[in-house]
Amino acid sequence: MTYVKPKFRHPELKKNKLGYTIDYYEGSLSTLCAGCGHDSISAGIVQACYDLNIEPHRLAKLSGIGCSSKTPAYFLSNSHGFNSVHGRMPSVATGANLANKELIYFGVSGDGDSASIGMGQFVHVIRRNLNMVYVVMNNGCYGLTKGQDSATADHGSKNKSGNTNIFEAIDLTSLALELGATFVAQSFSGDKTQLVPLIKAAMSHPGFAFINVISPCVTFNNNPGSTKSYDYVREHIEATATFDFVPEMQEISVSYKEGSAKQVTMHDGSKIQLQKLSEDWDPLNRQSAMNAILNAKSKDEILTGLIYVDPNTKDLHHMINTSDTPLNQLNEKDLCPGSKALDEVNAGLR
């Protein structure tokens, strides 16, 4: 990296329970365009990990290729990172997770990465309910290859050169719901108050946690007529609920003003506090979540917040019944049947 991050920090930065200040969760200086939505999401991840007292080295961050996929370099420099190939991060994350189920797996992808070249892997990682957080930084265009429309660009949206997109958009959020994702959320890079608790909740979810974050590309898709521009999203955003994530052991002292409240307890004891805005939406009911999205769409609104969660889900390791000890910690003694067993195999082949 040619850029060196200035080391100066306020001497009285607050420390979290592990004794780390927030800068401990940062990465190298971003090389993305100034104002890129992706940087705000990185900042959200930093904040969430700091708040949750995550040991950075116990988290593995994986991505594909694209501006969005570069971001793992910009948060948690004490974590192992993996920029894989374009669109195929889910398989690498799957292998990594199978090898060691004790780490936290954080995947970052773009809409080109996930909705085109990587669509197959995106779909199948959901189907397997891999225990990971999967964030799509969705700007409706290809940033790194300079602005082509992506498959999530809305029908009728204008790109920078003024051309109108004639194709229907692939809506990754509905798709994830449809495919059985056990945690589905949607947010906006410009809404840190909503995004940070969502990331925290996703991290404590014991299965596949998907967050589709609309993240405007200031360079290629922030023009009038684009439905993924800052202005457009701000005007059309509609939250499911005001939202708070309460980590395990923390006193619950959130109070909401209006509407009905809903509390979801995650497997580790942490809680999601929802102050619902919409009466006919239940985040624990897939059908209801689906309806909420469709309703919002019909009104040209972008629904954000936690859309669906199944807090009692069982991940891939449960399904294939792997040992409690992570597979990468087993040795000859656990794995090799030895020469005696081999003699028996030989005998069976005579």
Partner 1 sequence: MSKDKINDFVVRFANVNGTGSASANFLFTKAIFRMGIPVTPKNIFPSNIQGLPTWYEVRVSEKGYLGRREGIDLMVAVNPQSMAKDVESVRPGGYFLYDSSKKLNPNYIREDINYIGIPLMEICNANYTDARQRQLFKNIIYVGALAALLNIEFSVLEGLLADQFKGKEKLIPSNVKALQLGVDYIHQNFKYPLEFRLERRDLLKDAIMIDGNSACGLGAVYAGATVAAWYPITPSTSVVEAFMNYADEFRVDEKTGKRNVAIVQAEDELAAIGMVIGANWNGARSFTATSGPGVSLMNEFLGLAYFAEIPAVLIDVQRTGPSTGMPTRTQQSDVLEAAYASHGDTKQVLLFPSTPKECFEMTADAFDLSEELQTPVIMLTDLDLGMNDHVSEPFKWDDKRKYNRGKVLTAEQLDKIQKFGRYLDVDNDGIPYRTYPGTHPTKGSYFTRGTSRDEYAVYTEDGDAYQRNMDRLLKKWETAKTKVPAPEIVGEKNKFSSGLLFFGTSTYAAGEAMDLLKEKNIFVDAIRIKSFPFNQTVADFINDHETIYVIEQNRDAQMKSLLMMELNANPAKLVSILNYNGMPITADNILNQVENNIKLSKTLKSK
Ligand X SMILES: Cc1ncc(C[n+]2csc(CCOP(=O)(O)OP(=O)(O)O)c2C)c(N)n1
Name the site residues for ligand X (rule: CB under 6 A).
Answer: 65-68, 86, 110-113, 137, 139, 141-145, 150, 217
- Which residue, 38 or 200, is less far from ligand SF4 as judged by CB? 38
Kind of pairing, strands 271-276 and 261-265?
A: antiparallel
Instruction: Find the helix packing angle between 172-179 and 286-298, rounded to 10°.
Output: 160
Distance CA 316, CA 256 (A): 36
* Region 99-138 residues binding partner 1, contact defined as CB under 8 A: 99-100, 102-103, 120-121, 123-124, 128
Minimum separation from the CB atom of position 307 to ligand X (A): 22
Nearest of 161, 141, 164 to residue 153 by alpha carbon: 141
Asked if 223 interacts with ligand SF4 (CB under 6 A), we say no
- Which residue, 93 or 151, is less far from partner 1 as judged by CB? 93
Distance CA 172, CA 113 (A): 12
Which does residue 112 touch among ligand X, partner 1, ligand SF4, none (CB within 5 to 8 A, set by kind)?
ligand X
Q: How many residues does the chain have?
A: 350
Distance CA 73, CA 87 (A): 17
Minimum separation from the CB atom of position 65 to ligand X (A): 4
Question: 20, 26, 32, 117: which one contacts ligand SF4 (CB under 6 A)?
Answer: 32
Stretch that binds partner 1, among 34-42, 83-91, 158-166, 278-286 (CB under 8 A): 83-91
Asked if 138 interacts with ligand SF4 (CB under 6 A), we say no
Q: Which residue is nearest to ligand SF4 (CB)?
A: 143
Interaction mask 38-67, partner 1, x per CB under 8 A: -----------------xxxx-x-x-----
Minimum separation from the CB atom of position 203 to partner 1 (A): 16
- Which residue, 129 or 227, is less far from ligand X as judged by CB? 227
Nearest of 42, 296, 43 to residue 177 by alpha carbon: 296
- DSSP-assigned states of every residue in 121-159: HHHHHHHTT-SEEEEEEE-SB-TTTTS-B-TTSPTT-B-
Query: What string of H, E and C letters represents the secondary structure of 173-224?
Result: HHHHHHHCCCEEEEEECCCHHHHHHHHHHHHHCCCEEEEEEECCCCCCCCCC
Which does residue 247 touch among ligand X, partner 1, ligand SF4, none (CB within 5 to 8 A, set by kind)?
none
Minimum separation from the CB atom of position 18 to partner 1 (A): 9
Residue 6 Cα distances to 27, 28, 280, angstroms: 12, 10, 49
* Region 86-105 residues binding partner 1, contact defined as CB under 8 A: 88, 90-100, 102-103
Q: Which helix (H) or strand (E) holds 306?
A: strand 302-309
**Which positions touch ligand SF4 (CB under 6 A)?**
32-33, 36, 38, 67, 139, 143-144, 217-220
